[in-house]
Structure 1
């Protein structure tokens, strides 16, 4: 039964630096004075209306909710979500501008429900507010039947334009969304704009297009434009082929591959789950493979195989391996998955991606993980290098089994990038986004804090609160133990074979 709404125990109000306040007020002042009309010059607060706030919380969190948690976001009462699991927009913002302190405070209409039956959580956000003086976003949060008012979710770096403002998630946000790693982490950018009757087709930093100056840098900045600003960076880390005219290749039309790289991230939401989710795990690369910074994609190297540019066929095998570990208990892992010996084939634009899959010590060779589909069927060489980027990869039935049946056949995986050299002296495209250091014996840079990441916000003796911590039951993942049936990885919905507890003789 819902309890009486409460206020946060401690106040997080803090004075905004004068420079930031002045910067914000520079554009707000004109509108505020215009709206004040004939009111007394002594009045400090001027009413504001017609604002919209767009914020995506954190892209990886949205991916987690709709992916591993098999959950949903439901925006109501005037709120909306951008297509493609994008950012959220809250509308009909009203508030006041303080012409003395040169700050503004706005409250917005709309509610957002975040729910996962699989992981057993339901969170509701409402009464979203932005305060430039406190430089923060707050909301009323309802979870486990209890509503807490004005919970500070993010600190905001206030800018003059109030578009794409950087946000930093708070400790309270980490508690709400169920991942301790969120405290101090970068959230999605925040945009606060006043919607005017004039809808220019393109944003402009000038307010001269409207008879009434607007506090925002652009009266026409839409929610969808803001949502796109928070979209996930492309999973591709391999540079595209040079736009310069291709040189006549000296390599034959068909022959052996001399070298090459394959760039692939497996699936971004899976990487996020392992490092930032309840797995509290780590990702390591070995055998020459590397991982891009910020928990990015993987690059596999030293390609061997054959090609035929006349027949538009290619078959390449790559060195390197990537290992995902999580759900550690007493030195053993409930999730221990290694992909190695990756191979890619293309035949007139379609093909397969295979790998040797080792799960909890059991190895299956040449598992067809994904069907591949390139944007074009022909293979052409430039400077003795064939480059094919952004190859669509969809999970096969065998691949779905490799991931324990959580991902269904046909699920979209991260795209694949291929670059193969046809001669020994050909120069492969550089990979500026990859880590240069060998990560064979240590986690990637993004996983060095894996021991402290994760989503368990309750104790191991009781239930856990909602968000990333929930497993679909009231028991923390860590408490399941390695002798549990086959679902130690259920916090992500991925089901791997459990390592049976060894019995002592």
Structure 2
């Protein structure tokens, strides 16, 4: 091929490759998953057994887990990765459920099972649900703690996980107990048992920008060791109380009987299984704490339900805490009612922060009056968590991150076997970062056709020229 023609074709091909490279590069790296929820009832018949007349037990929620629907638990704050090119997906969620049943005369429980930190991993056409499990064997009573047990296999039903967009949503994935899960389940079910289906949604972020690893001409000046911040006590810089009131009360409010709702105002925030009352002000000194917080939650519904709790305050003395609130209802209108007491322990600052995490709480006598006699004094209420910042750089714990509201898949891509498409990833017609793959492919095809046409024209011109004599030097187009 003549040299000039080779140069021209090389330039055209380079342009084609340059047009194609962004598509390949966009698919070449995983994107972070941040924020989302997983809804799963474990096994509905197991819940009924635990709370029924045989086991006579109960369950409690930990680390921000919530209930949703008739029998599902909601886990929150997804973190992980998603590769749109291969469909590989992994997301870990926060929250746990603690089941107790078959109470013995000594006060212990034969059935004692905690399932927490569910993680879903998907590769190709297979998926697995992993769990942290703490269980008591029903025969020997031995307690076993296991981390990230491959608890259940998930059926994708032929769903193609490849795609793009800003979220992944999977609905009603069939789940089957694995052999490892059966052992961790304390022997209550055998491997192969069908569990409740799993639904999840997770927000997918844009890839993190690449860091420039080239050496800098001038090294950055060292900031030196940070000076320790004094946290002996004094005025509170910021603070928040997290409290869900009582799980069964929330379920009553939104259930068929009350058919009601709750509304937040004055800065209160909804964390799924709890309400956050922010803007803490007050003082901390030598393990004692007095603080006031912002926000109001109002519960309304049928049968005269109208209860507001606001201007929350906490007082901690000698390791014992009390949570107060202003109460407004048809029968009560009173300020600073001591609603619940909780065990705070020895409050000591760490990293500029003083915290109480999920302290068990009990209803007071005046709290029982505030609830109109619905619960008796001493009833266990939702645990209390509080955090106050003593320094400007201390950060309060984040609220549970449920991610964006899941939406149905716009274009699920099942295989050709007619598999169920009820569990489909949210797909996007654009590539991972919005790059238009189809127009680029068309442009690349046009460039290839142009290159082929140039080659054909050049060859025709070459054939039309007279043959050079044997002694003539090669021309510039013939080298």
Q: Where on the TM-score scale, by shorter chain, does this alignment land: which range?
A: 0.3 to 0.5
TM-score if structure 1 supplies the norm length? Answer: 0.39
Larger Rg: 2
Q: Considering fraction of residues, name the structure with more strand.
A: 2
Bigger relative contact order, structure 1 or 2 (CA pairs below 8 A, ≥6 apart): 2
